[in-house]
Structure 1
């Protein structure tokens, strides 16, 4: 769409933005499961944190539920990209259910780390947000009491593990890189023998999107992040922009734009969380072009070419 407004506006479009490989794979898994088994296919928890995506899958025959006991015995169920506690597939097997695990491979990597630490007798500190499905899933990989959640620098200063010499940490994959560095620094100061992840747990896509937003924030008067309120990585992008000194807002789609807030801006940055589809980015750009004489400039900080394979069970319909 061409611009129809007269006030000039630079749109600084962050790249990378939007869907990551794990989200792409999770959505594909639900679509392929519907293709293979027919509707309805049940999904435990939102497959990814985005209402637009969830509603699109519901239209194809997906039914989203909170817990496994809401799923009838004779229908397939998909577990969300955020991962699930071990008790969930165990219950599915007990009920002889057909289930497909759409856990992001980078979250599964953290699950394996947690199992290894526990097998070596280490208590595990998990840096993350209470109540987030990924944290619940990761902490549910090992027996209760094996892990302690650390949400803030204050938590890191105050945690008192029983055996400080046998200690390790993992992190949620969608955290703020900068905030996590601060928390880890406190833990390493307090517990010099702390076992660290071999490779950082915060996923490549989270890191890349945060770097791109920082770059955009340097040049913009406002930053719009497209994503859901319950999307951890989307909310972190808003925080990253604010920390870089540029006011930012999280919107689900163009209808949520606050035009008063945008008044007076000459350069607006746009990014999208890892579970936000590109169609919603285009919708926001089109809305800006209707009000302003807007030109889009791409701000690229990394190129992504990661692709995750779908589970073997769905290969025949992929």
Structure 2
């Protein structure tokens, strides 16, 4: 089965909303990177370059109805599905109290994995690609219950080399399960070895390669894929090609925010005043969320350092 190439037209309001979500993701990602650089947290996986693939696909998901299984780089997914910047920072800061200058202390700190159960977002596993099997199992349960919910599993390029990846896809194809697999494929030269080969994919699985820097294309193909899965057409795999960057790198032609800006400019909907006001507002909100998260993390650390039931002082017998 082939996904249609016709793209639903996005209104100016919708495109601006998606740009706003991508900008929020970029800002939160930048401040998480600053926390890492300053030694406040010991791990961060930047999503820079993935914003369109993550926000554009997550915007099509029905929170609290569908089941989403993000992987550790999916900051844009979890923000779009309802997590707040404050919750993001608290997730990163939790488990990293005190100074991180001691190498032994770093070794025993947990790596964050997203989870937001009230919106059916399943916490990610530590092993790479295990969430693909979990999504297939959830989709199987949805099919048995005759539910129109879809399981959406995200993964990175490294997951495609794991046996769990192909096993999950094969089971989903054999059972014609309502599941959407999204692989965020890094297009840099050192990641080409992980590129998917359609000839090696199981029969019964619908596959499509998508420009992950084009928010309009991502939204269009994800919308159609979810509709096919809901109507019993079997599993779909979307390979979204992205170019991963870092906060130190300058914006390139393939940068998702720049691409969306060009779309708005071509339609006459770009406004520098609107963009400046939007950036200032979002930055202020993110900085306030970070300040609150740091304060509350410090309070939590102080509370944990205090004994739960301090022993009463022993009175001197001779002194009465």
Q: TM-score, normalised by structure 2?
A: 0.28
Greater fraction of residues in helix: 2
Compare the two structures and name the one with the higher strand fraction: 1
Higher relative contact order (CA 8 A, sep 6+): 1
Structure with bigger gyration radius = 2
TM-score, length-scaled by structure 1: 0.28
